[in-house]
Amino acid sequence: MKFFLDTANLEQIKEAQALGVIDGVTTNPSLMAKEGIAGKQNILDHYVKICNIVDGDVSAEVISTDFEGMIKEGEELAALHPQIVVKVPVIKDGIKAIKYLSSKGIRTNCTLVFSAGQALLAAKAGATYVSPFIGRLDDNSTDGIELIRQIVDIYNYYDFGTMVLAASIRHTMHIIKCLEVGADVATCPLDAILGLLKHPLTDLGLQKFLEDYNKLNK
């Protein structure tokens, strides 16, 4: 199971990389905008900066919504760095673009997935990753984890090679539940990853160990 960091913030990416448990990064246009990254060249440069910090895959999303535009952008993004995975929305032209890009050996991440049917088409088109957005489903009174379970089962049953990348993760229990149902990757905000460390008994236990040590070692 892999952990990706879901951010375009370079400081957070450095912090997570230093922790030693990060296998990649996912970004999207909203996350790039949050960091104030604007203008084509700045955006491309930012992806390269991210690739130079982390060891694993870095998802960079296309902005076009038509086939020609998506493959042009996809080829340009893929040429930036070997770690780049081209993120493509699960729309009709997006599926065609994923098929084309995968036939050229360009890895893809099919994004904005909210149903098993969309995940099926992404896998048939040869997507490297499929990104179901579990938090946004939960926000709309639909069980996001259940969708992950459904897609994992379908992919396993039919032996699809596409990896299930659980996205829109909001908290630590999302991560744990994704593991339980067999997601290949969880892409998370740094807070959710660091949240996995939290336990009051760990804090109390450490405090007691240090107090006992200090009693005899002043």
Can you give the binding site for ligand G3P, defined by CB under 6 A? 6, 26, 28, 133, 135-136, 167-168, 187
Output the CA–CA distances (angstroms, integers) from residue 30 to 35, 42, 60, 98, 216, in the order listed: 9, 15, 12, 21, 54
Residue linked to tokens 């970004």: 27
* Choice among 87, 177, 215, 218 that is catalytic: 87
Nearest approach, Cβ of 213 to ligand G3P (angstroms)?
Answer: 42
Shortest gap between Cβ of 63 and ligand G3P (angstroms)? 15
Distance CA 10, CA 15 (A): 9
Rg (CA), the chain: 19
Residue 173 or 206: the one with the smaller Cβ distance to ligand G3P is 173
Residue 48 to residue 43: CA distance in whole angstroms = 9
Output 135 or 182, the one with its CB closest to ligand G3P: 135
Q: Which is nearer to ligand G3P, 51 or 167 (CB)?
A: 167
Question: Measured from the CB of residue 214, what is the shortest distance to ligand G3P in angstroms?
Answer: 43
Question: Active-site residue 87, yes or no?
Answer: yes
What is the rounded distance in angstroms from the CA atom of residue 54 to the CA atom of residue 47? 11
Task: For ligand G3P, give the closer residue by CB, 97 or 192.
Answer: 192
CA dist., res. 216 & res. 218, Å (int): 6
| Least distance in angstroms from the C-beta of 168 to ligand G3P | 3
SS3 60: strand
Catalytic residues: 87
